[in-house]
């Protein structure tokens, strides 16, 4: 692998593994509102947001940090009143009690209108128009959670030096051209051959996501799945095993995040839950297995980069639950920590794809902790089987001898095969 390729992969990880506060869909909407408000130059009198179905689905039932509320209206109001575009997906970092009070009043005054975008095919589409002081401003995000493709004031485009801003008509082309073509072999070779010092940045994901897990343990967030597994009842049933600790720590972080805890997490490919799921199982297993720090670093790179690789062909949002992607990454990382080879890592992937393909995404919400726990438990089981050279073969279901073809079978089902499922799920959610 050339030094240029290694640097390109490092840049890719740093682009896709970033801090976020709260669920990334309402955060992205708040970010778009903040961009539009900044262009307007005054407090908006009215806000209109048009969102793709997948963004709506993921933002309907999730807690908004620091508010005690769920859903888009409060996130939009806060984005307009205190949101700072330069914070990225931490756009609501400055949220406080007074800001929440003002935002609630803004919502109650019916200044916000939210509609479904039915014409644009992008599954991640956010268009915001704000009015105030006799002026109008517009901002649009597409394809990725921070990818701003349009800025205008009073109908006139506003130029920007921001690298995330590009002409709307070229967004799909630019994404494809700039995408580094990965394979699972590349992921493994990069993680195991690159100088350790060049990879140490990934430890920040450990620090942030452990903080989220601690918050979930000390407070009563969501369904308290993580705390339940740590309780006398949970320990009485599951014991104090490595397996139980991996599940409980991961669940605690998800409990906190989905309930709206004001704590940052390190996201992966635009999803905080994916970041949690790709990081904490690997961290806890390494601690319990007494792996070295270098082994942990390389395992975290394997896990996070595998998730990034899978998302390249799946897309930022889909009908497939993100825990399927991230837990496949963590299974590869855990296999490495067990002393596994590249071949055994491939076995882990095949076991994961055979087991979890088809798990639906029905929005971001507290019960996501249950799905993460299902994914992580499968990750550990898949790694255990792989270490014994036991794996699902190509005569079974959608598994192929080629591990990369397996991954693309998974993503094709999630991005295309489940489109009708996605529409059906949203219909159920919006007609309850």
- Tell me what the mean pLDDT of segment 249-259 comes to: 95
Range of 89's domain? 19-173
Question: Does 194 lie in the same domain as 160?
Answer: no
Q: What is the pLDDT of residue 170?
A: 35
Which of 147, 173, 199 represents a domain boundary (last residue)?
173
pLDDT band of residue 174 (cuts 50, 70, 90) is very low
CATH code of the domain covering residue 330: 1.10.4100.10
pLDDT band of residue 287 (cuts 50, 70, 90) is very high
- Tell me what the mean pLDDT of segment 183-207 comes to: 98
pLDDT band of residue 68 (cuts 50, 70, 90) is confident
Contact of 156 with 137, CB cutoff 8 Å: no
Q: What is the pLDDT of residue 164?
A: 46
Choose among 69, 56, 84, 89: nearest CA to 260: 69
- pLDDT 10s digits, 79-134: 999 999 999 999 999 999 999 999 999 999 999 999 999 999 999 999 999 999 99
- pLDDT 10s digits, 396-418: 999 999 999 999 999 999 999 99
Question: Does 361 lie in the same domain as 245?
Answer: yes
Question: Does 141 lie in the same domain as 23?
Answer: yes
Choose among 143, 201, 145, 193: nearest CA to 167: 143
Q: In what order do the strands lie in the sheet with 125-132?
A: 112-116, 46-51, 125-132, 135-142, 148-153, 156-157
Confidence check: pLDDT of 176 > 60: no
CATH code of the domain covering residue 33: 3.30.1330
Q: What is the pLDDT of residue 173?
A: 38
- Does residue 48 sit within a domain? yes
Share of the chain above pLDDT 90, in %: 84
Cα distances (angstroms) measured from residue 398 to each of 112, 380, 409, 410: 45, 21, 7, 8
Question: Does 189 lie in the same domain as 44?
Answer: no
Question: Does 413 lie in the same domain as 284?
Answer: yes
- Does residue 2 sit within a domain? no
Question: Does 148 lie in the same domain as 189?
Answer: no
Question: Does 413 lie in the same domain as 320?
Answer: yes
- Does residue 7 sit within a domain? no
Which of 138, 173, 208 represents a domain boundary (last residue)?
173
Residue 98, strand partner residues? none
Q: Which residue has the tokens 């992921």?
A: 187
Q: For residue 183, what are its two tokens? A: 């394979």
Q: Of the ranges 173-182, 205-214, 269-278, 368-377, which one carries the lowest mean pLDDT score?
A: 173-182
> What's the gap between Cα 310 and its chain centre?
13
Confidence check: pLDDT of 169 > 50: no
Which of 141, 173, 205 represents a domain boundary (last residue)?
173
Cα distances (angstroms) measured from residue 390 to each of 296, 383, 384, 406: 24, 9, 9, 16
Q: Give the number of domains in the chain.
A: 2
Question: Does 99 lie in the same domain as 208?
Answer: no
Q: Is 78 left (phi over 0), alpha (psi -120 to 50) or beta?
A: alpha
- Cβ of 98: how many Cβ atoms within 10 Å? 10
Most distant CA pair in the chain: distance in Å? Answer: 69
- Does residue 106 sit within a domain? yes
- pLDDT 10s digits, 9-61: 999 999 999 998 888 899 999 999 999 999 999 999 999 999 999 999 888 88
- Taking the C-alpha atoms of residue 137 and residue 156, their distance in angstroms, rounded to an integer, is 9
Angle between the N-to-C axes of helices 203-218 and 242-258, in degrees from 0 to 180, rounded to the nearest 10:
80
Q: What is the pLDDT of residue 32?
A: 97
Which range of 175-179, 228-232, 288-292 scores highest in mean pLDDT? It is: 288-292
Choose among 279, 278, 418, 405: nearest CA to 350: 405
- Does residue 3 sit within a domain? no
- Using H for helix, E for strand and C for coil, what is the string for the chain? CCHHHHHHHHHHHHHHCCEEECCHHHHHHHHHHHHHHHHHCCCCCEEEEEECHHHHHHHCCCEECCCCEECHHHHHHHHHHCCCHHHHHHCCCCCCHHHHHHHHHHHHCCCEEEEECCCCCCCCEEEEEEEECCEEEEEEEECCCCCEEEEEECCEECCCCCCCCCCHHHHHHHHHHHCCCCCHHHHHHHHHHCCHHHCHHHHHHHHHHHHHHHHHHHCCCCCCHHHHHHCHHHHHHHCCCHHHHHHHHHHHHHHHHHCCCCCEEECECCEHHHHHHHHHHHHHHHHHHCCCHHHHHHHHHHHHHHHHHHHHHHCCCCCECHHHHHHHHHHHHHHHHCCCCHHHHHHHHHHHHHHHCCCECCCCCCCHHHHHHHHHHHHHHHHHHHHCCCCCCCCCCCCCCCHHHHHHHHHHHHHHHCHHHHHHHHHHHHCC
Q: What is the pLDDT of residue 66?
A: 87
- Does residue 294 sit within a domain? yes
- pLDDT 10s digits, 131-168: 999 999 999 999 989 999 999 999 999 986 554 444 43
- Does residue 12 sit within a domain? no
- Taking the C-alpha atoms of residue 150 and residue 257, their distance in angstroms, rounded to an integer, is 30
Q: For residue 234, what are its two tokens? A: 């949970």
């Amino acid at each position: 692998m050339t030094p240029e390729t290694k640097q390109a992969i490092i840049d890719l990880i740093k682009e896709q593994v970033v801090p976020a506060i709260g669920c990334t869909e309402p955060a992205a909407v708040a970010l778009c509102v903040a961009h539009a408000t900044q262009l307007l130059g005054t407090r908006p009198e009215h806000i209109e947001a048009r969102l793709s179905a997948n963004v709506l689905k993921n933002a309907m039932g999730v807690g908004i940090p620091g508010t005690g509320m769920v859903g888009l209206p409060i996130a939009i109001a806060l984005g307009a009143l205190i949101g700072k575009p330069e914070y990225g997906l931490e756009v609501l970092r400055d949220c406080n009690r007074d800001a929440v009070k003002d935002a609630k009043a803004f919502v109650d005054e019916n200044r916000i209108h939210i509609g479904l975008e039915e014409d644009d095919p992008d599954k991640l589409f956010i268009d915001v128009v704000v009015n105030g002081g006799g002026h109008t401003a517009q901002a649009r995000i597409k394809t990725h959670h921070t990818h701003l493709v349009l800025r205008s004031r009073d109908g006139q485009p506003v130029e920007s030096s921001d690298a995330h801003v590009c002409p709307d008509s070229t967004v799909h082309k630019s994404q494809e051209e700039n995408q580094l073509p990965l394979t699972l072999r590349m992921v493994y070779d990069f993680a195991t051959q690159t100088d350790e010092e060049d990879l140490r940045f990934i430890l920040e994901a450990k620090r942030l996501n452990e903080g989220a897990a601690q918050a979930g343990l000390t407070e009563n967030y969501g369904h308290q799945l993580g705390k339940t597994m740590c309780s006398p009842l949970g320990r009485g049933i599951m014991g104090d095993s490595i397996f139980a600790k991996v599940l409980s720590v991961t669940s605690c972080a998800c409990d906190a995040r989905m309930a709206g805890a004001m704590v940052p997490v390190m996201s992966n490919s635009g999803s905080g839950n994916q970041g949690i799921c790709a990081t904490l199982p690997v961290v806890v297993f390494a601690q319990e297995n007494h792996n070295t720090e270098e082994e942990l670093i390389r395992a975290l790179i394997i896990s996070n980069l595998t998730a990034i690789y899978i998302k390249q062909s799946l897309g930022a949002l889909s009908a497939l639950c993100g825990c399927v992607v991230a837990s496949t990454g963590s299974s590869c990382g855990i296999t490495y920590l067990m002393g596994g080879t590249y071949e055994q890592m491939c076995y882990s992937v095949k076991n994961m794809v055979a087991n979890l393909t088809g798990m639906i995404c029905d929005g971001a919400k507290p019960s996501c902790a249950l799905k993460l726990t299902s994914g992580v438990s499968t990750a550990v089981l898949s790694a255990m089987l792989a270490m014994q050279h036991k794996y699902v073969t190509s005569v079974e279901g959608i598994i192929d001898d080629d591990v990369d073809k397996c991954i693309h079978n998974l993503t094709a089902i999630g991005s295309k095969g489940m489109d009708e499922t996605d529409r059906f799920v949203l219909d159920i959610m919006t007609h309850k």
